[in-house]
Amino acid sequence: MIPRFNRVRRWVYGCAEAFLLSAAALLLCVGAARAQQPRVPYVPTPQEVVDRMLQMAKVSANDYLIDLGSGDGRIVVTAAKTLGTRGFGVDINPVRVSEAMENAQKAGVTDKAAFYQRDLFQTDLSQASVITMYLLPRVNMELRPKLLDLKPGTRIVSHDFSMDEWKPDAFAQMYVKEKYGNSGGQSDVFLWVVPAKTPGSWRWELAAGGKGAKPLTYTVTLAQTFQMVTGNVSVTGRTAPLQNVKLTGTEISFSFTVDSGTGPVRHEFKGRVEGDSIIGSASLSGSRTQGQYEWNAARGVQNKTSQQDR
């Protein structure tokens, strides 16, 4: 026989537990419903802007394209049909996904173009060499850290919306006859190339003084914000600022002039960043030093603090 006091206490605990479970279930339902809400309304990109986006990103049959919020699938379908590009689109709205699948079917590209009902924030983008999107500024900003972490060289094209301080590598503005239904308007197209991560110090040697000359050791220290890179070079105890630094994806180039004992020598470097190496060529010109050289730089200490935002 359970004493009356214990029975009441059990009943109260039971009620409290049931209330907490119901509240937790309600919160989960609200959260799930929110996650399924489209964050961006459906407005299709006019076909001429789709064509321009693909052209600006130099999309080809070798690319893998992912459209984030794919609507009726026009970007993925156009790339598959006209360029032979493989890829997929994701949309949170099942009606849009069905439309896109139908359009892929009509265009005869179901072997190249797929569509999934999925939240774009839950989508694995690692396969992409090109990302396309027509979203909203705050959604672009939310995606930005994930996009910056994609494979260097991945191209991202956005219709109409920027990514604030991450300035585009190319930009186009066009007038379209039919933008929203029947009325015309202006469309902006932004292109970014995910930059390689270059901050820190890099070292290499060049035997620039001709046959038998002692190789000189160069040390360059780079700081980077998005694709903007600045730095200094140090060689034979002299330092100089880097000039004309350009980083597009994995392609880097810069120049500087130093006097390493035989008069001022103009140095021009261009190469490809491959992880902790840069492989490319150097061109030197001075009164007593002229020539083209192979350039192989190795990363020393990586300066994590000067990396772009995450």
Ligand X SMILES: C[S@@+](CC[C@H](N)C(=O)[O-])C[C@H]1O[C@@H](n2cnc3c(N)ncnc32)[C@H](O)[C@@H]1O
Token pair for residue 26? Answer: 């309600």
Residue of minimal CB distance from ligand X? 69
Q: What angle do CA 188, 152, 50 make, to 5 degrees?
A: 30
Which range of residues in 87-95, 253-261, 273-281, 296-304 is near ligand X by CB under 6 A?
A: 87-95
Of 93 and 201, the one with the shorter C-beta distance to ligand X is 93
Q: What is the dihedral of CA 28, 33, 36, 39, to 10 degrees?
A: -110
Of 96 and 267, the one with the shorter C-beta distance to ligand X is 96
Q: From CA 222, how far away is CA 96, in angstroms rounded?
A: 46
Q: Is 42 in the site for ligand X (CB under 6 A)?
A: yes
Binding-site member from 65, 75, 109, 114 for ligand X (CB under 6 A)? 75
Which range of residues in 19-27, 63-71, 243-251, 253-261 is near ligand X by CB under 6 A?
A: 63-71
H/E element, 71: none
Q: Is 233 in the site for ligand X (CB under 6 A)?
A: no
- Map tokens 């103009």 to a residue: 266
Q: Is 99 in the site for ligand X (CB under 6 A)?
A: no
Q: Is 67 in the site for ligand X (CB under 6 A)?
A: yes
Of 42 and 293, the one with the shorter C-beta distance to ligand X is 42
Q: From CA 119, how far away is CA 39, in angstroms rounded?
A: 10
- Shortest separation between residue 46's beta carbon and ligand X, angstroms: 8
Helix (H, G, I), strand (E, B) or coil at 19: helix
Q: Is 293 in the site for ligand X (CB under 6 A)?
A: no
Of 112 and 159, the one with the shorter C-beta distance to ligand X is 159
**How buried is residue 118: exposed, middle or buried, by Cβ count under 10 Å (0-12/13-18/19+)?**
middle
- Map tokens 């994701």 to a residue: 90
Q: Is 74 in the site for ligand X (CB under 6 A)?
A: yes
Of 45 and 140, the one with the shorter C-beta distance to ligand X is 45
Residues 116-175 that bind ligand X (CB under 6 A): 119-120, 134, 159
185 close to 179: Cβ distance less than 8 angstroms:
yes
Q: Is 209 in the site for ligand X (CB under 6 A)?
A: no
Q: Is 70 in the site for ligand X (CB under 6 A)?
A: yes
Of 41 and 237, the one with the shorter C-beta distance to ligand X is 41
- Shortest separation between residue 89's beta carbon and ligand X, angstroms: 7
Q: What angle do CA 5, 10, 14 make, to 5 degrees?
A: 150
**How buried is residue 237: exposed, middle or buried, by Cβ count under 10 Å (0-12/13-18/19+)?**
exposed
Token pair for residue 203? Answer: 């070292």
Give the interface size with ligand X as a residue count (CB under 6 A): 22
Alpha carbon of residue 203 to chain centroid: 27
Residue 238 phi/psi, 5° resolution? -110, 150
Binding-site member from 71, 87, 152, 199 for ligand X (CB under 6 A)? 71
Of 190 and 226, the one with the shorter C-beta distance to ligand X is 190
Half-sphere exposure of 308 (CA within 13 A, CB side): 21
* Residues found near ligand X in the complex (CB under 6 A): 38-40, 42-45, 67, 69-71, 74-75, 90-93, 96, 119-120, 134, 159
